[in-house]
Amino acid sequence: MSFSTWLARLAGARPEILAKAPGDVNKHAALGGVLLTTSGVAAVSAFFALHSVLELPPAAAAAVGAAWGLIIFNLDRMLVVTMTRDNGWLLNFLAAIPRLALALVIGTIISMPLVLKIFEPEINSELIAMQAETVKRNQDEYDKAYAKIKELETEEAGLLAVLAGRATTTISDDPDVKAAQSALDVAEKAYQDARQSAQCEFDGTCGTGVPGNGESYQQKKKAADDAEAARDRARTKLDEVTAKVAKRIEDGSATDTENAKKRLPEVQADLDRLRGDREGLERRGTDATAADTGLLARLEALDRITEDRPSGGQAHLAVFLLFLAIEVLPVLLKLLNGFAPETLYDRLAKRADDGLDSDDELWAKRDRDLAVDRADQNLAIERHKLDAQTQAHATTTQLVADKQLGMAKKAIDVWAAVAQLRTDEELNRWYLDHVGTNDQHTKPLPRVDSQRTTPIPRTALPTTNGTHVPGVPSPTNQP
């Protein structure tokens, strides 16, 4: 077998018909070569996907790639072989639509690993940028999730300062003192403003503009005096609050130290736990980010590359369409051949199929006729068997009836003989009892001689299971 014929057989051509149409060998061989090319591209694509993305060893990736190529070859060959031209171009076109759709799906799956391999340097660079973004985003999330750490660190620093004596509380830091001091400052400012306004009115430089101790001055003077009294009360309040705070600080300095000693271990334990949790989470996040170089990550990186770069998008589309066309090509060629005029191979194949169909119809008719003949023969045999059984049953019934009739006659003869014998015996006994043997005038009846009576065979007497019937005399007891 030549290589061209072998390729033609791969494409689904029938060798016995190719031998009669050698001019069509090259066309079918070309289609077989396309099928091999498609399966080879699928095998290479699977090898790149398994070796580059999944990081399988080359030998294992090559074995799985070869198996994948064989699967794609069988699928493509199935799509090509099942397309015929017997139903007309419209039906063939409609029938080819699902096959083309399936070929598009297969082509997309096959072309994607090859596209990723071609753009691998750009994808690796984009993966590094994506990982950096992921790390920064995770860091922000960690800061939000573990904001308690900063609070505990601040509290720890304060407690350590109290224990070291660096955080002694002063009177001026107390909130009550600060409030009283603020009130005093406000009262002092109000008094200074009121006093200045009264002095200005007295000098005639503001207000009414009339100098001297007039009514307006008296009013402003009174307001200044009220402001001064309020300032004095605020100063007195500040002095009182300061004294109380001073006493409280003096009494509570020892208590703050004791509280700091009790609180510090708890704060440090919580701080260590949260820090350990965050470090573990950061480590797992870093490992996951570094390992996120799989197929989905590469596809996302490819999308980002082609999104901002028109030239990259065009190159991606061109490469994708190239490998997609390689996959769709076998089905497309088979579909286009359906629109071309019939070749010698097509006519011979159709004629051979029609002949086989006719032969099949003849053989089917012969089988049906043979089945009918067998059924008739079986019916005749069954009827003959039934007639023979009926005749045998009738003969057997007649034989049984004849035997029963003979037995009944013999039984009646025996009964008649026994009845006659008993009658004679009874009559003789009656005669002897009533007439007597000494009667001179009457002769006795002659004695019934049992010897002169025809003997009854013993075997003829009626018996039941070998036992003598009561009331019937046996031959040995005859008088």
Same domain assignment for residues 94 and 156: no
Higher-pLDDT residue of 405 and 52 is 405
In a domain, 318, yes or no: yes
The whole-angstrom distance between residue 444's C-alpha and the CA centroid of its chain comes to 123
Q: With contact defined as beta carbons under 8 Å apart, do 45 and 111 qualify?
A: yes
Q: Give how far Cα 345 sits from Cα of 260, 332, 340, 376, Å.
A: 101, 20, 13, 46
Q: Does some domain include residue 79?
A: yes
Dihedral angle sign, alpha carbons of residues 226, 232, 235, 237: negative
Q: How many domains does the chain have?
A: 3
- Number of other residues whose CB lies within 10 A of the CB of residue 258: 9
Please give the pLDDT value at position 453: 43
| Residue pair 324/108 in contact by the 8 Å Cβ criterion | yes
Compute CA distances 146 → 270, 271, 403, whole Å.
Answer: 12, 10, 119
Question: What distance in Å separates the CA atoms of residue 52 and residue 45, rounded to the nearest whole number?
Answer: 11
Domain shared by 331 and 362, yes or no: no
Q: Strand, coil or helix: what is 208?
A: coil
d(CA 260, CA 161): 9
Q: Is residue 276 part of a domain?
A: yes
Same domain, 15 and 54: yes
Do 90 and 158 share a structural domain?
no
In a domain, 371, yes or no: yes
Same domain, 281 and 324: no
Q: Considering the domain boundaries, does residue 392 fall inside one?
A: yes
Mean pLDDT of the chain: 76
Whether residues 279 and 375 share a domain: the answer is no
Are both 109 and 153 inside the same structural domain? no
- The pLDDT tens digits of the residues spanning 283-301 come to 887 777 776 666 677 777 7
Structural contact between residues 345 and 24, judged by C-beta atoms closer than 8 angstroms: yes
**How far apart are the C-alpha atoms of 126 and 301, rounded to whole Å?**
6
Question: Between 449 and 316, where is the model more confident?
Answer: 316
Helices (H), 292-343: 295-308, 310-339
**CA atoms within 13 Å, Cβ hemisphere of 391:** 6
160 and 280 in a single domain? The answer is yes
How far is residue 220's CA from residue 226's CA, in Å, rounded to a whole number? 10
Residues 411 and 316 in one domain: no
Amino acid (1-letter code) at residue 106: I
| Residue 320 located in a structural domain | yes
In a domain, 125, yes or no: no
For 150, the 3-state DSSP assignment is helix
Q: Is the pLDDT of residue 208 over 70?
A: yes
What is the per-residue pLDDT across 343-396, written as a single tens digit (0 to 9) for each?
777 677 677 766 665 656 667 777 787 888 888 888 889 888 888 888 888 888
Q: What is this structure's pTM?
A: 0.41
Do 157 and 58 share a structural domain? no
Query: Do both 286 and 327 map to the same domain?
Result: no
- Residue 279 and residue 178 share a domain: yes
Q: Which residue has the tokens 């007195």?
A: 236
Q: Which domain holds residue 373?
A: 354-477
Are 17 and 352 in contact, with CB atoms under 8 Å apart?
Answer: yes
**Domain for residue 301, yes or no?**
no
Q: Which of 29-33, 43-47, 143-147, 200-204 has the lowest mean pLDDT?
A: 143-147
- Token output for 244: 């109380």
